[in-house]
Amino acid sequence: MDIDLIRRLSAPNNTKVLLCVLDGLGGMQGPRGRTELEEAHPRHLDRLAEEGITGQTVPVGLGITTGSGPGHLALFGYDPLVYEVGRGVLEATGIDFPLGPDDLAARGNFCTVGADGLITDRRAGRIATEKTAEICELLQREVKLDGVEMFIRPVREHRFALIFRGQGLSPELNETDPQREGVAPLEVVATAPAAERTAALAREFVAQARKLIGDRDQANALTLRGWATPPSLPQLPELWKLRAAAVAVYPMYRGLARLVGMDVLETGTTFDSEIETLAKHWDDYDFFFMHYKYTDSAGEDGDFARKVKAIQDFDVRIPEIMKLNPNVIVIAGDHSTPAAMADHSWHPVPTIIRGDYVRRDEVHHFNEPETLRGGLGIFPAKELLPQAFAHALRLSRFGA
């Protein structure tokens, strides 16, 4: 989307727009020559496709396989090549850490070093998350740095997120994980002159941390990677002049929604609870992003049947969702995850826009081969949301 044009043309009204993201939705032909969507034969999605207009989104670029971060930014209307979300930022958002504009984030690993300071285990024996939480609490309490706030939070097993908060921090730092054992963790050094002060702070952090944990058997050292500052994303509510909320179980998607300015609603750990949350807050917002994870997990596991089932499980809940009576509902995926590849892929992702003002096409089933003939064509994912909002009459006319 053209941010300046959207800012100029967006206009508030009373419509409700619901964006349902089925993670890793797109698939490929499986054992019987049909894709997961074809095999699922999802009657409610088929109905939405029949009533709505369909097409296929290209998340980042033709032939480009994308991660969930860029995939979602594109569905939120942002060019993922312009607004890059670094690894450290994803790790912090992935644990619901509320990143601010002055934050610098890194992914950390606790590791084990021998008496000679050389790494003997890059993952400290994959210590329990609870152990990592204890160490993080210790470091949070004892490490003192001049001129910046520091936050250290457990992620999972030996992994943690480190955030520095302060003015003038730079992500132009090297990664300190040597990616192999038998060598010492690298020292933090600046890869650009503007990062010298940040590098010194990071070294000071590492030195203090090493003193505090150096006598432990396992997690007695650490490495840092993926230094990143949050991208300065135009905020979705201001841009579109609406109230926006996210319903997602998994932290990374909550974090991505927060990065673009959505309110992140409290919800449970199941899709049921997501639907309840959606219903509960239906009157409070104009735009909802709801995330459904299980299509991707099954695809990543290479489990064709489970991906089919995950589609069907979503499908049966559509009548309940439609009872909320959204003016526009969008069905989309952040990328394809064909079970046949057990991985994300570059293949375009089927999508539907269903609302009062869609010009219908001749697609009757929601799947990869049929949506090729859809009225939306094959188009960049970042252009999906503007079209959804257009169908909610939330974009005024350009020119006279």
**By CB under 8 A, residue 9 contacts its own copies:** yes
Q: Nearest-CA neighbor of 228 among 186, 253, 260, 198? A: 198
Residue recorded with tokens 């974009």: 395
Q: Which is nearer to its own copies, 250 or 282 (CB)?
A: 250
**Is residue 359 a contact point for its own copies (CB under 8 A)?**
yes
Alpha-carbon torsion (124, 126, 130, 132), positive or negative: positive
- Interatomic CA distance for residues 234 and 116, integer angstroms: 49
Q: Which of 229, 267, 345, 351 binds its own copies (CB under 8 A)?
A: 345
Nearest residue to 166 (alpha-carbon basis) of 128, 137, 204, 221: 204
DSSP secondary structure string, 267-278?
--SSHHHHHHHH
Place of tokens 């109905």: 47
HSE (CB half, 13 Å, CA atoms) of 46? Answer: 11
The interface with its own copies within residues 33-72 (CB under 8 A) comprises 35, 60-71
- Closer to its own copies at the Cβ: 111 or 252? 252
398 binds its own copies (CB under 8 A): yes
Q: What is the CB neighbour count within 10 angstroms for residue 16?
A: 18
Q: What single-letter amino acid sits at 107?
A: R
- Count of residues of this chain found to bind its own copies when the rule CB under 8 A is applied: 63
With CB under 8 A as the contact rule, the residue among 122, 243, 309, 360 that binds its own copies is 360
Please tell me the distance from the alpha carbon of residue 275 to that of residue 238, in angstroms, as a whole number.
26
Q: Which is nearer to its own copies, 27 or 326 (CB)?
A: 27
Q: Exactly one of 25, 28, 245, 278 binds its own copies (CB under 8 A); which one?
A: 28
Minimum CB distance to its own copies, residue 255 (Å): 12
Nearer to its own copies, 11 or 183 (CB): 11
Q: Which of 81, 82, 128, 316 binds its own copies (CB under 8 A)?
A: 81
- Which parts of this chain interact with its own copies (CB under 8 A)? 1-2, 5, 9, 26-29, 35, 60-71, 80-81, 84-85, 87, 90, 336, 338, 340-341, 344-348, 357, 359-362, 368-369, 372-375, 377-379, 383, 386-391, 395-400
